[in-house]
Amino acid sequence: MKQICFILVAFGLLSITSCRDDFETEPSFGSLEFSKDTVYLDTVFTDIGSSTYSFKVYNRSSQDINIPNIQLNQGESSNFRLNVDGVAGKSISNINVLAKDSIFVFVEVTADIQDLSQNEVSFLYSDQINFDSGANLQQVELVTLVQDAIFLFPERFEDGSSETLTLGIDEEGEAIQIDGFILDAEHLTFTNQKPYVIYGFAGVPSGQTLTIEPGARIHFHNNSGIIVANNASVQAVGGLSSDPELLENEIIFEGDRLEPEFSDIPGQWASIWLTEGSTNHNFEYVTIKNSTVGILMDSNDGSAQPTLSIKNTQIYNSANVGLLARTGFIDAENLVINNSGQASLNLSLGGRYNFRHSTFANYWQNSFRQFPSVLIENNLQSGETLFIADLIEANFTNCIIYGNESIELLFNKVEDAAFNYNFKNCLIRFNDFNNQFSENELYDFDNTSLFENVLLNESLQFLDAQNNQLIIGEESAANNLGDQNTANQVPFDILGVNRTQNPDLGAYQSIQFEEE
C-alpha cells in the first residue's frame, strides 16, 4: 500500500510539474538580460575540473519567450560545459523563459594546456555562450586561466588498488598504511618552473633530501602531504620577495583548489610530517596555509644541533595545529602562526625550543576553540597510556603571544619530568579574570627567573588579525620593547626591515597604518 501511495504521489507531482510543457511563447527577440556579462572561472590546473559557476538570464518582458538555441561559440570542441535550466550540453535548444522570470546557467571547464599551447606554463582560455543567433544574438564571455603543473601521485594497480606507505605496526600487529608514494630522484628537487600538485603523501626516502627552490608552489589534494623518513631532510629555503602580493621568492604550501573562495579555508590538506629520525630540516621564507597540521614534528635527531630551523615563515589557517612538535628540537626566528582550530603552537612531550622575534596568535572564527595560542607540555596522553619527556628548555624572547581568548598561554606539566621555560621581553595575553591560576606557580609573572620584562594584556593593534595581517601599528604596546641583544641576532624582520634600532616585539617592526 505504501508503494502504491508513493507511486501516486510521484505521478501527481510529475503531472503538476509538467502541466506547462505546452504553454505558448514568443520567439526570443534579443532583449535578454544577464547577471554577468563575463564569467571568470578563476585558475584551474590542466586536466582538473573547475568548480561550477553560474549566472542568471532574465526575461524582463511581459511575454513568455523561447530561446531557440544556447550554445558555446566553439561548439563541441569547447573545453567549457553548460547546464541550462537542468539540461546539460554544449548546444541546447528551445529553452523557455516565463515573463518577468529567469533561468540559471551553470558553467564548468576542464582543459589540457598541451592542447592549447605547446610552450606556455599558463594560458588564458576563453569562449562565449551564444544566446540565439543573427540579429537576436547575445553573448556572455567565459574566461579562465589554465595552469600547467607537475602531478605527483601514488601508482594505480590493475586490481584497482593504489600505492601505499607503511608507517609501522598497530597494536594488533597489522601494518599501518596511508595512500602515498616515494619520491624518486627526479622529483627530489622542486623548482619554480611549474607548480606541483600532490595526491596522497609524497615520501622523502631515507638518506635523501627534498630540496625546494625559491618561488616554488606546492599544492596538495585532500588528505595529502609530505612525509619525511628516517635520516631524510627537507631544505625549503626561499627568499625575501619584493612584491608582498606576489611573494615571488616565497615557497608556498597550500591546497589544490585555486578559486578565491578556497584561499583561506582550513583543512584542505594534511601536513608536512617530519617523522622520528628525520634530520636537518630548514624552512625559510615559507608560507604554509590551509592544512590540518602545518608542520608535525615527531621527536628530534639526537644531535647537538636543532633538528628543525625555521625562519621568516608563516603558518595560517590550520584546522588543528599550526606547528605541533613532540620532543622536538627547534630553533626559530621571525615565525608567524595564526588562525588554528586548536593551538597555533603546541610543544608537546617535552623537547628543546628557542623562539626569537616570533608572533603566535589565534583569531580562529570557524568554531569553538578550547586551546590557547601556545600550549607547552611535558607529557602526552594516548588512550590509557601517559607518555612523559623532559622539557629541557622552551625559550621565548621578543615574542608576542596573543589572540581572541582571555588565556592564550597554557602549561601542562607532570612532576615526573623536567619543565623548563623562560619568557623574556614578551607581550602575552593572559587575562585570568576568574583567578583560577593565581595560586599556580607556573604562572607567577612576577618571578623574573621565568618571566623577565613581560607585559600582559596590553593592546597590540594588529593590522587585521582575522585575515592574517599581523603587522603592528605605531600605537602598539609592543613597540620598542625588544631586547637589543636578541634584535642584533635577528637584525631584520620578516619583511626585511632593519630592527637594530628600537626593536619591536614579534616578527614585524611596526608601521603607520593608513587612515580609512
The SS3 of residue 264 is coil
Burial of 382 per CB tally in 10 Å (0-12, 13-18, 19+): exposed
Sign (positive or negative) of CA dihedral 30, 81, 75, 110: positive
Place of cell 501511495: 5
% of the chain exceeding 70 in pLDDT: 95
pLDDT tens digits, one per residue of 317-370? 999 999 999 999 999 999 999 999 999 999 999 999 999 999 999 999 999 999
CA distance linking residue 309 with residue 300, whole number of Å: 12
Cell numbers of 277, please?
629520525
Place of cell 637594530: 500
The SS3 of residue 328 is strand
- Residues across the chain: 516
pLDDT at 86 over 60: yes
% of the chain exceeding 90 in pLDDT: 87
Annotate 209-252 with DSSP letters as a single string. Answer: EEEE-TT-EEEE-TT-EEEE-TT-EEEEE----S-TTT-TT-EE
pLDDT number for residue 148: 95
Question: Which range has the worst mean pLDDT, 26-35, 305-314, 326-335, 444-453?
Answer: 26-35
**Residue ranges per structural domain of the chain:** 26-147, 150-489
CA distance linking residue 380 with residue 388, whole number of Å: 6
Q: What would the mean pLDDT of 384-390 be, rounded to a whole number?
A: 95
pLDDT number for residue 85: 87
pLDDT at 12 over 60: no
Per the prediction, the chain carries an average pLDDT of: 93
pLDDT number for residue 166: 87
CA distance linking residue 162 with residue 181, whole number of Å: 9
pLDDT number for residue 516: 59
Q: What would the mean pLDDT of 175-200 be, rounded to a whole number?
A: 95
Counting runs of H as helices and runs of E as strands, what totals does the chain give? 3, 41
Q: Are 48 and 153 in contact (CB under 8 A)?
A: no
Cell numbers of 279, please?
634530520
Question: Which range has the worst mean pLDDT, 2-6, 127-131, 479-483?
Answer: 2-6
pTM for the structure as a whole = 0.89
pLDDT number for residue 28: 78
For domain 26-147, give the fold.
Answer: Immunoglobulin-like (2.60.40)
pLDDT at 13 over 80: no
pLDDT tens digits, one per residue of 456-509? 999 999 999 999 999 999 999 999 999 999 999 999 999 999 999 999 999 999
pLDDT number for residue 303: 95
- Strands (E) across 264-390 are located at 269-274, 281-289, 291-298, 308-318, 321-340, 345-356, 359-362, 374-377, 379-382, 385-388
CA distance linking residue 394 with residue 306, whole number of Å: 13
